[in-house]
Amino acid sequence: MTETRFRSILLTPAQSEGARVMSICNACRYCEGYCAVFPAMERRLDFHAADLDYLANLCHHCGACYRACQYAPPHAFAVNVPRALASIRGESYAHYAWPAGFGRLYARQGAAMAFALTLALSIVFFVANALVGSTATAQAAGFYAVIPHGVMVTIFGSVFGFSLCAMAVSAWRFWKELPVAAQPGAGRDAFDAILRLRHLDGGGEGCAQGGEAPGAARRHLHHAVFHGFLLCLASTSVATLYHYGFGWQAPYPVLSVPVVLGTVGGVLMTLGAAGLLWMRLRRDPRLGDPRQFPMDVGFVGLLLWVAVSGLVLLALRETPAMRFWLIAHLAGVLAFFLLMPYSKFVHGIYRSLAVLKHAREQRTPNPFGLAEG
Amino acid sequence: MALLESQRDAIGGASPDRADGALPRRINSDALRAPATTSARPTERRVDVLVIGGGNAALCAALSASQEGAEVLLLEASSRAQRGGNTVHTRNIRCMHNAPEDVLLEHYTEEEYLQDLLRVTRGRTDPALARLLIRESARCRPWMRQHGVRFQPALGGTLHLSRTNAFFLGGGKALANAYYRSAERAGVQIRYNAPVVSFARQGGRLAAVGIGRANDAELDEVEGALPLVERVQARSVVLASGGFESNLTWLGEVWGDAAANFRIRGSRFNRGRVLRQMINAGATAIGDPRQCHAVAIDARAPLYDGGIVTRVDCVSLGIVVNTRGERFYDEGEDFWPKRYAIWGRLVAVQPGQLAWSVIDAKASGRFMPPVFPGEEAGDLHTLARKMGVPVEAFLSTVRTFNDSVVPGTFNHAQLDDCRTEGLSPPKTHWAQRIDTPPFRAYPLRPGITFTYLGLKIHEDARVEGFENVFAAGEIMAGNVLGEGYVAGIGMTIGTVFGRIAGRNAAKWAHGVGRDGTVAGAGSRCR
């Protein structure tokens, strides 16, 4: 609480740079057609910590404004909106993380990733081996012969549950820094903008993909990951329903609903994550905050691992290699769950909330309806 | 292929330090081979059409000439990262239209456009060229779109222009980027860091030009010939290299010592070398060298490239005093478009070319946010000391002003009835007492946008005095703009005459035998 109040008075260096850049942008406004950040900026004359956290998370990091900027380096003003906002965004993930001390994991994403993976692998490996020959596995078939269903649910359910709680607290903290009252139609508009990634299109031409020519590939790849992820979530949900609702035990046939959903989702995630990873490595480094490289690459890499290992597991589930790939896949999933609140995963939460704030805000009159009068 | 292209972009891209040396893509290999030292004999090159300049007019000319099938070489004096001249600071183009068209509302007829032009130039315009400009302005936007330019509704704070002007999505730099991409795709050869430093005339033709060293791009004046890196022979040449506003020496010749306190709102590369050498070589000059478009900008603006953000938009909301603490002009005379264009000159004739726009808390939030914070104080006495103006004189000015304000209903959106009585100079609108702290003051200096001195052209954009030289953009703007300015017409002039110049330069190039009849070392003129 103290920290929050402190922050609202003093800006961090990244926020100071953001405020400096936004003040220049606010006097220029040439980019207002690109995305939501600039119309949101035009509703403000001063930029406080909460405003900057909001604007930073509203930015979808397409890079269009940097390429179009007459004040970009080598100009003395050295305006670089994507980088300034990326830095603030990274800090905001740490700032709003709960429990508070865990925000430090963002500063050491490489170590956090390694630790989470090791821990997850140890847990899964230990459980799988400890139960070899026990009654819990002896009567089960397929995956549950390696790790019984109940054990899986207990471990993954509790970690997932904790992560959801942690993210809910973070989301609440972010929201109440700058609450915006509900407006009719805003929720629907925000939902649409989030699902379509409306603000990742550089005003229609798409975003920087590595070179200077804009394109839609990055958005499409993100769609693949996002919707692939949702399909995998749906697959798990249907399987849970089968298990508890109908008493149908996994493994399910290839053409069953959970397997089809999981396969399509896995393929989409694999393609999307691989593409995004490839683009991230080739992206113009000036567009981002170099300190966030481990966070970006680690997160997308982990997603890729979860997707690929899941697909391999499906392909080999009738063979002795199943045991190895099950452990590999589950360790990846567990690491992902462990890190959810302390990884790049949270970008979706803050960005969605920022989009909702923006949709609400835009439905009220601009307090500064300025004209060059 | 596309991937390879963009990959190369990522590596060679526009990073400030690398871009300067970054090679233009998809150009003939011999264009790449500039000698490392200038002591060697300069490389020789031949092209159909040579375009000198790298802004909107130059790009429109290069694209049009290329569309006509000509081999085109474009010479941009700046680095790749700083390319585009004053175009990068623009954001709109004034277009005639008889019915609503996507981002353009209602209609803006040829007659109304012409009347606007006649009004601001007080008749100092070439009527035939003006009509040509206006008619062609109705036709250029589809072509612009074809080359990747995108339009958007009028920007916040510019709604009064939404009928007459189309705004570029992302502004002029986005437009220039789109044109450069399109030019690269079309095979136009682009050379950065390639200032043109000499011309060789042969009879009625410009036979060759000499490219100097990269650093020479920022020279004002030079004695004697500069060393050449390369000589280019061209069948025809398009001059689109802007005016001379970045040349402080030249401005000093015209404005005297005052020029030392001017700021240049645009590119540092508009040194006027091409303009002066062409005039010396026999091209007909047009326009008054003293005429320039100057606005009052924040005195803390950088010497070059301050662009739009350095404007100070609160003049009409308060009073403006000079360094003696005295008012000198009616701050409430008119709306932005007119006010904008006169205050540069008003400040230019004040002592030290410095003035202060002073407002009180009532003005806060009523004007476009300035990029530099104002001097702020809780009382006028402290403010005067922060401004460095004589305290008593300033306080007396404010007192006299406040006493002269008559009651009225303030309305910034119209010429309201808030005015002074018995004050000289008066403030005829938006006059409110300066009485509510905190008080703020913004320092003003003249900021030059562009100059009007140019080369006289014919309707085919051909420069008078030459057979194979065409001109577009600021270097010929004086043909239609004898003085004054109307928003967005600079981009219209560049686009319309750029296209005409490019087309006609290509036609001329095709009409001349390919046996090298234009080659040869003519006398170098400086």
The reply to whether A179 and A88 lie within a common domain is no
Query: Euclidean distance between the first and final Cα of chain B, in Å?
Result: 45
- Which residues on chain A are in Cβ contact (under 8 Å) with B153? 33
Tell me, yes or no, whether B104 lies in a domain. Answer: yes
Substitution target in A21, A30, A79, A209 with the highest count of B β-carbons within 10 Å is A30
Pair B287, B432 in one domain: no
pLDDT of B493 over the 80 cut: yes
Tokens of B98: 């008889």
Q: Judge if B299 and B170 occupy the same domain.
A: no
> Within a domain: residue A366?
no
Is residue B515 pLDDT above 80, yes or no? no
pLDDT at B21: 32
Which residue would you say has higher pLDDT here, B340 or A30? A30
Q: Do A30 and B9 touch (CB under 8 A)?
A: no
Angle formed by the axes of helices A293-315 and A109-130, to 10°? 30
B255 belongs to a structural domain: yes
Backbone angles phi, psi at A12, to 5 degrees: -70, 165
Angle at A176 (CA atoms; ends A170, A177), nearest 5 degrees: 95
A203 contacts B370? CB cut-off 8 A: no
Provide the pLDDT for residue B365. Answer: 85
**CB < 8 Å to A24, chain B:** 309, 371
Percent of chain B with pLDDT over 90: 75
The alpha-carbon gap from B146 to the nearest alpha carbon of chain A, in Å, equals 14
Tell whether B314 and B434 lie within a shared domain: yes
Q: Which chain A residue has its CA at the smallest distance from B339's CA?
A: A373
Q: Does the residue A26 lie in any domain? A: yes
pLDDT band at A76 (very low <50, low <70, confident <90, very high): very high
Same domain for B432 and B489?
A: no
- The pLDDT of residue B249 is above 90: yes
The Cα–Cα gap between B243 and B473 comes to 9
Domain stops at, among B447, B473, B501: B447
Q: Is A213–B160 a contact, with Cβ atoms under 8 angstroms apart?
A: no
CA angle (B399 as vertex; B396, B400 as ends), nearest 5: 85
Q: Which of A28, A35, A284, A287 to mutate to test the interface with B (most CBs of B within 10 A)?
A: A28
Query: Stretch B469-473: mean pLDDT, rounded?
Result: 98
Residues B20-26: what's their mean pLDDT? 32
Residue B10 pLDDT > 80, yes or no?
Answer: no
A209, A317: one domain: yes
Residues B373, A158: Cα–Cα separation, whole Å: 53
Record the tokens describing residue A170, joined without a space: 């973070």
User: If you count them, how many residues does chain A have?
Assistant: 373
Burial of B204 (0-12, 13-18, 19+ CB in 10 A): exposed
Range B23-46 burial, b when 16+ CB lie within 10 A, else e: ebeebeeebeebeeebeeebbebb
**Looking at the structure, do residues B166 and B100 belong to the same domain, yes or no?**
yes
Residue A5 has pLDDT above 70, yes or no: no
Tokens 């967005």, located at residue: B488
- Does residue B426 share a domain with residue B280? no
Band (pLDDT 50/70/90 cuts) for residue A368 is confident
| Closest Cα in chain B to A204 | B150
Q: Where do the H-state alpha helices sit in chain A?
A: 2-9, 13-28, 37-41, 49-58, 64-67, 81-96, 109-130, 135-138, 149-177, 186-196, 217-240, 257-282, 293-315, 322-339, 347-361
pLDDT attached to residue A205: 82
pLDDT for A237 beyond 50: yes
Residue-level pLDDT at A209: 67
- List the single residue in A with minimal CA-CA distance to B149: A205
Same structural domain, B415 and B501: no
> A95, A114, A134: which is the final residue of a domain?
A95
Tokens read off for A154: 């207990």
Strand, helix or coil at A260? helix
Q: Let me know whether A182 and A304 are in one domain.
A: yes
Task: Please tell me which of the candidates B82, B88, B311 has its beta carbon nearest to residue A74.
Answer: B82
Same domain, A249 and A133: yes
Strands (E), B112-262: 151-152, 165-168, 189-191, 196-202, 205-211, 230-239
Sign of the C-alpha dihedral, residues A118, A123, A124, A127? positive
Residue B10 lies in a domain: no
C-alpha dihedral, B49 to B50 to B52 to B55, nearest 10° = 50
Chosen domain end from B390, B421, B447: B447
Last-in-domain residue among A58, A75, A95: A95
My answer on whether A83 and A115 are in the same domain is no
Domain with A237 in it: what CATH number? Answer: 1.20.950
8 Å CB contact of B366 and A370: yes
The mean pLDDT value for A337-363 works out to 97
The per-residue pLDDT for range A315-344, each reduced to its tens digit, is 999 999 999 999 999 999 999 999 999 999
- What domain count does chain B have? 2
Q: Are residues A316 and A272 in the same domain?
A: yes
Whether A197 and A297 share a structural domain: yes
Task: Verify whether the Cβ–Cβ distance B5 to A213 is below 8 Å.
Answer: yes
Any domain includes B23: no
Domain ranges, residue B413 = 293-447
Task: Report whether pLDDT(B17) > 50.
Answer: no
Helix axes A322-339, A293-315, angle to 10 degrees: 150
Query: A77 and A142 share a domain?
Result: no
How confident is the model at residue A370, as a pLDDT? 65
Per-residue pLDDT, averaged over B3-22, amounts to 32
Q: How confident is the model at residue B154 (pLDDT cuts 50, 70, 90)?
A: confident
pLDDT of A183 strictly over 80: yes
Name the pLDDT band for A211 (thresholds 50, 70, 90): low
Instruction: Write the CA distances from A81 to A25, B215, B412, B470, integer angstroms.
Output: 9, 30, 32, 40
Per-residue pLDDT of B203-237, as tens digits, reads 999 999 999 999 989 888 877 788 899 999 999 99
The Cα of A202 is separated from the nearest Cα of chain B by a number of Å equal to 9
For residue B454, the model assigns a pLDDT of 96
Averaged pLDDT, B461-469: 96
Query: Which residues are within 8 A (CB) of A55 and not within 5 positions of it... i.e. 6 or more apart?
Result: A18, A22, A37, A40, A41, A47, A85, A88, A354
Are the C-beta atoms of residues B302 and B341 closer than 8 Å to each other? no
| Cα–Cα separations (whole angstroms), residue B513 to B47, B346, B509, B510, B516 | 13, 54, 8, 7, 7
Instruction: Say whether B160 and A212 touch across the interface (CB within 8 A).
Output: no
B304: domain CATH number is 3.90.700.10
Average pLDDT, chain A: 91
Distance between CA atoms of B295 and B357, rounded to whole angstroms?
13
- Pair (B306, B286) in one structural domain: no
A364 in a structural domain: no
Pairing of strands B285-286, B319-322: unpaired
Q: At what angle do helices A49-58 and A2-9 cross, to 10 degrees?
A: 90
pLDDT at B429: 95
Residue B167 lies in a domain: yes
Residue B55 domain flag:
yes
A-B C-beta contacts closer than 8 Å = 141
Full residue range of the structural domain in which residue A226 is found:
105-358
Verify that B349 and B463 share a domain, yes or no.
no
Task: State the burial class of residue B500 (Cβ atoms within 10 Å of its Cβ: 0-12, 13-18, 19+).
Answer: buried
- End-to-end CA gap in chain A: 43
Out of B395, B430, B447, pick the residue that ends a domain: B447
pLDDT > 50? residue B70: yes
> Residue B505: which CATH number?
3.50.50.60
Give domain status of residue B16, yes or no: no
Same domain, A175 and A284: yes
* CB proximity list for B29: less than 8 A, separation 6 or greater: none
Is residue A116 in some structural domain?
Answer: yes
Count of domains for chain A:
2
**Helix-helix angle B489-511:B56-67, to 10 degrees:** 30
Q: Do both A88 and A111 map to the same domain?
A: no
A267 phi/psi in degrees, rounded to 5: -65, -45
Structure tokens at A315: 């392909």
Say if residue A113 is in the same domain as residue A88.
no
This prediction's pTM? 0.90
State whether B65 and B157 are in the same domain.
yes
Phi-psi region of B415 (alpha: psi -120 to 50; beta: other; left: phi over 0): beta
- Both B460 and B359 in one domain: the answer is no
Residue A193, min C-alpha distance to chain B (Å): 20
User: End of a domain among A95, A113, A133?
Assistant: A95
Closest C-alpha to B87, from B205, B185, B172, B211: B172
Q: What is the mean pLDDT of residues A23-42?
A: 94
In a domain, A372, yes or no: no
Q: What is the Cα–Cα distance from B129 to B143, expressed in whole angstroms?
A: 20
Instruction: Provide mean pLDDT across the span B423-438.
Output: 96
At residue B337 the predicted structure's pLDDT band, cuts being 50, 70 and 90, is low
In A, residues 62-101, which contact B (CB 8 Å cutoff)?
A: 64-65, 67-71, 73-77
* Same domain as B347, residue B440: yes
Is residue B30 situated within a structural domain?
no
Residue B412: is it exposed, middle or buried by C-beta count within 10 angstroms (0-12/13-18/19+)?
A: middle
Opening angle at CA B519, ends B513 and B524, nearest 5: 145
- The length of chain B is 526
Question: What integer pLDDT is reported at residue A215 of this predicted model?
Answer: 87
